[in-house]
Amino acid sequence: MSRKPEVNAARLLASVADFAAIGATPAGGVNRQALGIEDRAARRLLAERALARGFTVFQDDIANLFIRREGRDASLPPLLIGSHLDSQPTGGRFDGALGTLSAFEVLEALSDAGIETDRAVEVVAFTNEEGSRYSPGCMGSMAFAGVGTLADWEPIHATDGPQLADELAATLAALPEAALRPTGHAISAFVELHIEQGPILEQEDVPIGVVTAVQGTKWLEVVFSGVAAHAGTTPLEFRKDPMGAAAAAIASLQSAVMPADPEARLTVGRITAEPGSINVIPGSVTFTVDIRHPDAAILAAMDQHVRKECEAAGARWDCDVSVSQRVNMAPGRFSPTITGAIEEACKALGLKSRQMVSGAFHDALFVNRIAPTAMIFVPCRHGISHNEAEFVTDTHMISGARVLLNVVEALG
Ligand code: GLV
Ligand code: MN
Ligand code: MN
Ligand code: MN
């Protein structure tokens, strides 16, 4: 006999706390970067819990981890729900984990209530969504959607050294109970729950965001090359100072791009100087630029603008400049069928919702290319994310999971 499935709130909250302990930082966040020891430990815990509940566990070539709860008809493609378990180096405990653990709670709630869905429901934890240790982000979902190829990424070195191929092999080997399957299998749809990572839902006091689209992102790497020289003896006219060029370029981009367009985003998040000595004019300076816009044409124009400013700054400081593209994620529009199902679920549960565009990229952006997809957002305090202070109230976590469960009942 089956009964109405219900999210087990205490179990969900305990699960979020259990996973927050894996890679926990003293400031209350997590450092569980892709394919590292902590990431492996989180996968292991999820797999163990899945096996204990009688679900099947498998992983694909890029270590995307799947947990499958069978449905009535094994010939139907499964409904996919989930997110990621990796984090930023100083990440919060909810980014990715909340979506993955809420999805797992949905499977448990279905089993507790003895529900048989028509199709199987699979929970996924995609590999390397963040891209902080190995760039680009969303590698797992890109590979799953056939957008990228593992072979291109295997030689990449982590920010802390090891090559991706080696860390991937170790990660796969750490879960011997998970059968290995080729990357990319048919699914009926994908629903990803995530924290908003921005301030809108909290500001408007709306508990659920129905995500209709994701803005586009480009990651560029800029290298200014000059001549390393003595800080004390080299007069201005003899300097080929790449730090001068970098500072000028960054200052001019910061003052022009975002003030001119409220939808534009530009971030310089990493900068290094070589040789990096206090009394040496650097020989080279490298920095990253993250630019975003919901409109692909405007994003392309922003890319051109960055290149022009860098060339101008290089010329001013007599330095060479190279700008290379590291990531190019086109904006994506989600399926109205799935956003409609999320809105129906909110109505059924008496939860206010609003449609919104995601400023962050997500695995759903790529899965959207191969199956009807949409996202559920829940508010996070002050919109703070990619930060150890990231915080979501228990009530919002539980509401999000309830919406996901309701959507799964409708689509499963
Ligand atoms: C994903 O983490 C992003 O930077 O949007
Ligand atoms: Mn995330
Ligand atoms: Mn993130
Ligand atoms: Mn993200």
- Give me the architecture of the 216-329 domain, per CATH: 2-Layer Sandwich (3.30)
Burial of 317 (0-12, 13-18, 19+ CB in 10 A): buried
In 3D space, the residue among 327, 341, 347, 360 whose CA is nearest the CA of residue 411 turns out to be 341
Question: Residues 330-348: what's their mean pLDDT?
Answer: 98
Q: Is the reported ipTM for this assembly greater than 0.90?
A: yes
Domains 9-214+332-411 and 216-329 share a fold: no
Expressed in angstroms, the distance from the first to the final Cα of the chain is 18
Average pLDDT for the chain: 97
Q: Which two tokens stand for residue 303?
A: 């890319």
pLDDT tier for residue 340 given thresholds of 50, 70 and 90: very high
CA-nearest residue, atom 2 of ligand 1: 130
361 ligand 1 Cβ < 6 A: yes
Cα-to-centroid distance, 406 and ligand 4 (Å): 24
> 341 vs 5, 77, 93, 208, 213, CA distance in Å?
17, 18, 28, 13, 15
Question: Residues 269-289: what's their mean pLDDT?
Answer: 98
Cα-to-centroid distance, 225 and ligand 4 (Å): 32
274 contacts: CB under 8 Å, gap ≥ 6: 228, 282, 283, 284, 285, 286
Cα-to-centroid distance, 82 and ligand 2 (Å): 11
CA distance 382 to 272: 30
The reported pLDDT for the residue numbered 405 is 98
Closest atom of ligand 1 to CA, residue 361: 5
Residues shown for the chain: 412
pLDDT of 276 above 80 = yes
Q: Which ligand is nearest to the CA of 92?
A: 3
Domain ranges of the chain: 9-214+332-411, 216-329
Neighbours of ion ligand 4 (CB under 5 A): 360
pLDDT tier for residue 95 given thresholds of 50, 70 and 90: very high
β-bridge pairing 121-126 and 332-333: unpaired
Tens digit of each residue's pLDDT (9 = 90 or more) over 123-133: 999 999 999 99
* DSSP letters for 108-149: HHHHHTT---SS-EEEEEES-SS-SSSSSS-HHHHHHTTSS-
pLDDT of 2 above 90 = no
Measured on CA atoms in the order 144, 150, 156, 158, is the torsion positive or negative? positive
pLDDT tier for residue 155 given thresholds of 50, 70 and 90: very high
* Position 309, amino acid: E
Q: Which two tokens stand for residue 38?
A: 């902590």
175 contacts: CB under 8 Å, gap ≥ 6: 40, 43, 44, 47, 57, 59, 65
Q: Which ligand is nearest to the CA of 390?
A: 3
Closest atom of ligand 1 to CA, residue 386: 2
> Among 361, 363, 387, which residue has the most ligand 1 atoms within 8 Å of its CB, making it the best to mutate?
361
The reported pLDDT for the residue numbered 251 is 98
CA distance 21 to 24: 5
Predicted TM-score of the model (pTM): 0.91
Local structure of 325: helix, strand or coil: strand
Cα-to-centroid distance, 130 and ligand 4 (Å): 5
Strands (E), 239-371: 265-267, 271-274, 280-281, 284-293, 320-329, 332-333, 353-358
In 3D space, the residue among 312, 265, 272, 309 whose CA is nearest the CA of residue 291 turns out to be 265
> 213 vs 195, 225, 235, 338, 375, CA distance in Å?
15, 39, 52, 12, 9
What CATH number matches the domain at 9-214+332-411, 1.10.10.10, 3.40.630.10, 2.60.40.1180, 3.40.430.10? 3.40.630.10
pLDDT of 1 above 90 = no
The answer to whether the beta carbons of residues 248 and 226 sit under 8 Å apart is: no
- Alpha carbon 179 to its chain centroid, in Å, reads 25
* Position 81, amino acid: I
The answer to whether the beta carbons of residues 310 and 323 sit under 8 Å apart is: yes
